[in-house]
Amino acid sequence: MGIKKEIVDRFKNVLKKENLKFTNQRFLVFSALLTNEGHFDCDDLIRIINKKDGNVSRATAYRTLDLLVKYDFARKMVLDDGIAKYENKILSKHHDHMIDIETDEIIEFVNDEIERIQEEIAKSHGYKIVKHVHQLFVKKIK
């Protein structure tokens, strides 16, 4: 599965704006996230990259992921243990996350009522929502 040229161009522009070179390593991080569905931590992505295309350093992977989050290519969530997980934001529709604190399983959900109430809360304070992160930390009912 390839990435649209338009998206790659957007990434190139972001790098330019940040005074960074378009390198193969950075491109590999970018494409690993954008061509895989799911929630990955940095090490997962490094493993995916190293399995097929070659080598990427941890520092580069982290810095590139931060950039992808900053420029809305990726969504980031921080789990209870402090580990950050990333997911493709370009192809996945907006959703919220429930994180099972015992298994680290991530359950996605969308609730129109929550979306609406959030808008209302922001509006009642004189704001509109630009983006939001809604995470529920959960435990299976036994």
Residues forming the site for Zn ion (CB under 5 A): 87, 108
16: which 2 tokens? 């330019």
Compute the least distance from the CB of residue 72 to Zn ion, in Å: 14
Element (H, E) at 81: none
Which residue, 23 or 111, is less far from Zn ion as judged by CB?
A: 111
Cα distance between residue 9 and residue 114, in whole Å: 35
The sign of the torsion formed by the CA atoms of 3, 53, 20, 43 equals: positive
Residue 100 bridge partners (DSSP)? 138
Compute the least distance from the CB of residue 108 to Zn ion, in Å: 5
Compute the least distance from the CB of residue 87 to Zn ion, in Å: 5
Compute the least distance from the CB of residue 94 to Zn ion, in Å: 9
Which residue, 12 or 76, is less far from Zn ion as judged by CB?
A: 76
Which residue, 26 or 87, is less far from Zn ion as judged by CB?
A: 87
Which residue, 15 or 87, is less far from Zn ion as judged by CB?
A: 87
Which residue, 15 or 99, is less far from Zn ion as judged by CB?
A: 99
Compute the least distance from the CB of residue 89 to Zn ion, in Å: 9
Q: Which residues contact 104 (CB under 8 A, 6 or more apart)?
A: 79, 81
Concatenate the DSSP letters of all residues of 3-27 into one string.
--HHHHHHHHHHHHHTT----HHHH
Strand order across the beta sheet in which 135-138 lies:
106-109, 96-100, 135-138
